[in-house]
A and B are shown apart, each in its own frame.
Chain A
Amino acid sequence: MVMEIVCPAGTPAALRAAVRAGAHTIYCGFADETNARNFPGLNFDRTEMREGVAFAHGHGSKVLVAINTYPRAGSEHIWHSAVSDAASAGADAVILADPGLLDYAARHHPQLRRHLSVQAAAANADVINFYAQSFGVKRVVLPRVLSVAEIVAINAQTEVETEVFVFGGLCVMAEGRCSLSSYATGRSPNMNGVCSPASHVEYHESNGTLDARLGGYAIHRVGKDEPAPYPTLCKGCFSAGEKSGHLFEDPVSLNAEQLIPQLQKAGVTALKIEGRQRSRSYVAQVVRNFRAAVDALDAGLPMPQGMLARLSEGQAVTTGAYKKTWR
């Protein structure tokens, strides 16, 4: 069975590009704080969501709606209506992280398939099985901290489908619980749907040197011929005394294209591409590459060599935790 390619779409145009490029499934979100990519100019209003789902279904693709931030006490209705509107738009599933919202979806929309977002940071079989038994979760998006061997072990102990990231930006180790963006800006992906929000980002270029700041903090300074960074704290380059370096993570992107055969053997159902904030050009290119890869695998052909480095942050890629070589 061909592994499912799950592709990002930040706009209706990106959704159509993903479908035309061969995406099996597209994930997207509403234009508000209910999804973790609440960026300016992105996402879908209710009409666009209905039309997007209809377009995808008309071409044999599925749509998952990410409602994966944590509701604010007293404003739960915003998240509840997002779940209800996803159901009425004809979404194939919702991607949720908050236990209260999972409970709401299970009670009020039991026929609507529920996936557990990476924002829930469910990294072992016990917790995954808890979400399955308590809220009927059918699929879990695994956090980007697991090796292939650990994914094998999880799949051996759960009936829940697993979906893993194979391309795009890497996130710090405890998604859904990271407070770095909040520390610098007061806004976080967990509550507001924005990590390192653009409203708090400043760039200054002088004589070829580019300074990138977040909330007034200098996060990066790069020279004339170095790739430009986006100033997220977890990928910042900091100086202390005589030393400078990336304290948490290097500014590189994940590319696990060549690990797809191992992931299939590990029992993984779906391969997820990060990047709802990226253009339809990015979506089309990455989807085509990964669709070709899984089709080649299914046909018993060698994996094609990808050429996606230029699309990546830092213009460099890593296989991340799948092949652990911790410093």
Chain B
Amino acid sequence: MPQDMPLIPIFPPVLARIFAPLPLLPLSLSLTAYSKRVANKHPGLFRRLGEHDHARYILDPTDLPFVICLEPKGGTPRVFAIRGSAEGDARIAGPLAALLGLVHGAFDGDALFFSRDLVIEGDTAAALALRNAVDDAELDISEEIAAMSGPFAQPLQRLFAFIQGRSGVFLSRPEEATLW
């Protein structure tokens, strides 16, 4: 990936349309289970949220037909996906690939904001606290999901690596040499 102009892949609109009518409850349950695992493994993430650890965050992947509500609840998080608009203390919006790149420390949040790839609305301090807390946690979504998947761990990791290689979307924490 060139250092001066990273490309933020956009989720294919055809696939987004296919996902549009699917029920979101399984996704919400999976996201909450995943976030509870993160809370156990990275308690410092919630500590870093400080006074914002009971805020409601709206994470809006602008190329998908739903938004994700994140409620840290002081370390017992709840995460769910809903269609349409949602109310929250802070909204962080951008292509799914930008949000995943931020989580994995592949992209710099300020740089994405300066370039208008990322939009922040509402409580800027809450958004900043979440950005900084996630950046410090050094999360790896592929690794965490694989660890939750028992015998499917290795095939899943291979699948994630394949998708990452083909799409350019950071599904795992990159080697530092590839960061920009």
Q: Which residues of A contact B (CB under 8 A)?
A: 10-14, 17, 20-21, 39-42, 197-199, 201-205, 210, 224-230, 277-282, 284-285, 307-315
Pairs A-B, 3 closest by C-beta atoms: A41-B132, A40-B129, A11-B136
Residues of the A chain whose Cβ atoms lie less than 8 Å from the Cβ of B49: 41
Number of residues from B at the complex interface, CB < 8 A: 43
Please, how many angstroms separate the alpha-carbon atoms of A282 and B105 in the complex?
9
Q: What is the minimal beta-carbon distance from B113 to any residue of chain A, in angstroms?
A: 5
Contact, CB under 8 Å: A227 / B136: no
In contact, B116 and A227 (Cβ under 8 angstroms): yes
Contact B105 A199, beta carbon cutoff 8 Å:
no
Confirm or deny: B85 has a beta carbon within 8 angstroms of a beta carbon on chain A: no
Contact at A203–B110, with CB atoms within 8 Å? no
- List residues of B whose CB falls within 8 A of some A CB: 2-6, 48-52, 102, 105-111, 113-116, 119-121, 123-133, 135-138, 176, 179-180
Whether A313 lies near B108 (C-beta < 8 A) is: no
Is there contact, CB below 8 Å, between B125 and A197?
yes
Highest count of chain B CB atoms <10 Å: which of A279, A310, A312 = A279
Known: A41-B49, A41-B50, A205-B121. A21 touches B136 (CB 8 A): no
Q: How far is the CB of A291 from chain B (nearest CB, A)?
A: 13
C-alpha spacing A20/B138, complex, angstroms: 14
Instruction: Give complex CA distance A12, B119 in Å.
Output: 26
Q: Is the CB of B136 within 8 A of A13?
A: yes
Give the distance to chain B from A222, nearest Cβ to Cβ, in Å.
9
Measured in the bound complex, the distance between the Cα atoms of B116 and A10 in whole Å is 23
- Is the Cβ of A313 less than 8 Å from the Cβ of B48? no
Contacts of B129 in A (CB 8 A): 40-41
Residues from chain A with Cβ under 8 Å of B126 in the complex = 40
The reply to whether A13 and B135 contact each other, CB–CB distance below 8 Å, is yes
Q: A40-B51, A40-B52, A229-B114 are in contact. List 14 more A-B contacts (CB 8 A).
A: A12-B136, A40-B50, A40-B126, A40-B128, A42-B132, A198-B127, A226-B116, A277-B110, A280-B105, A281-B106, A310-B3, A310-B114, A310-B180, A311-B110
Residue among B129, B133, B180 with the most chain A CB within 10 A?
A: B180
- Knowing A282-B111, A311-B108 touch, does A228 contact B116 (C-beta < 8 A)? yes
Bound form: Cα–Cα A109–B175 in Å: 40
Contact (Cβ within 8 A) A198 B3: no
Q: How far is the CB of A200 from chain B (nearest CB, A)?
A: 8
In the complex, what distance in Å separates the CA atom of A39 from the CA atom of B136?
A: 14
Q: Are B114 and A312 in contact (CB under 8 A)?
A: yes
In the complex, the chain A residue whose C-beta lies closest to that of B50 is: A40
Q: Is the CB of A20 within 8 A of B110?
A: no
**With contact pairs A204-B121, A284-B179 given, residues A41 and B128 touching in the complex (Cβ less than 8 Å):** yes
Contact B108 A10 (CB under 8 A): no
Nearest opposing residue in chain A for B107, CB measure: A281
